[in-house]
Amino acid sequence: MSDLSPIDKAKFVAAKQAAEYVEDGMGVGLGTGSTAAWLVKCLGEKVAEGLKIRGVPTSSRTAELAREVGIDVISLDEAKWLDVTIDGADEFDGNLNLIKGGGGALLQEKIVATASDQMIVIADASKQVETLGAFPLPIEVIPFGWQTTKTLVEETLVGLDVLGRSTSLRMNGEAPYYTDEGNHILDLHLNRIGNARQLSLVLNQIPGVVENGLFIDICDVVVIGHGDGRVELRDINAGTVTEARHEFIETDNLFTEIGD
């Protein structure tokens, strides 16, 4: 662990702590992104020790990683409903509202998260903000007429409580980025979102918009990791904030728990 950066250590301890929420026999939504990848690896260790779970990935790359570490991967249609989804976030505020989609998987992530009894977000402390919007808000749009959709989005933003209104098509090198569902992503550079709930509702009314990256009233717990091994757990339903700490040691387990 000594060769990990503080930010990677923060992501790792958050993922390791969140893995404790997963119990034998659960159906688990597996998020997408660098922090969620740590979670998949942590769950893979527990599966190797005998934990039996069924994982529903939110992207093709998460599915590949889950299979690599020995997690039984099924589709959401097979699972129908999940006990918990654990995922990362690009931003979260004090009410545990999120911006997600930096990794391009927001549509599947939102579907899986809302098909779960509980959503747990794992993040490092840098993802916490007073007001959402510094991170560009992704929206998934169908390729047909995407430029018209982009124009409609920009016109709609004029009447909303946002600080910036520029939009850009996400690219993959010289070509447009395609999601797992074959759609494009528009990134909205808003700087500050005054009313996230209103913005989410309005964006989804625009023809061509499939879904947006605002996760409102979906997240139940945020697990915040720090580079020194501290972990903060915020439960929005219980109204509690608790702390734990993990000590990094050079063993196969990478760290030991030293109490709450």
Domain harbouring 115, CATH code: 3.40.50.1360
Q: Which residues are annotated as a binding site?
A: 32-35, 87-90, 100-103, 127
Q: Is position 49 annotated as part of the catalytic site?
A: no
pLDDT of residue 7: 93
Strand partners, 82: 116
Q: Return the CATH number at 180.
A: 3.30.70.260
87 lies in the same domain as 120 = yes
Q: Domain residues for 206?
A: 137-213
Asked if 86 and 186 count as a contact pair (C-beta separation under 8 A), the reply is no
119 lies in the same domain as 174 = no
Mean pLDDT in order along the chain per 10 residues (260 residues): 84 97 98 96 98 98 98 98 98 98 98 98 97 98 98 97 97 98 98 98 98 98 96 97 82 42
Q: Is residue 52 part of a domain?
A: yes
Q: Which residues are annotated as a binding site for substrate?
A: 32-35, 87-90, 100-103, 127
pLDDT of residue 187: 98
Among 142, 151, 145, 187, residue whose Cα is nearest residue 168: 187
pLDDT of residue 199: 98
111 lies in the same domain as 226 = yes
Query: Number of structural domains, the chain?
Result: 2
Three-state DSSP class for residue 167: strand
Q: Taking the complete model, does pTM exceed 0.75, yes or no?
A: yes
47 lies in the same domain as 101 = yes
Catalytic: which of 68, 78, 91, 109? 109
47 lies in the same domain as 81 = yes
pLDDT of residue 255: 45
Asked if 100 and 87 count as a contact pair (C-beta separation under 8 A), the reply is yes
pLDDT of residue 252: 43
Half-sphere exposure of 110 (CA within 13 A, CB side): 20
116 lies in the same domain as 230 = yes
Q: Is residue 130 part of a domain?
A: no
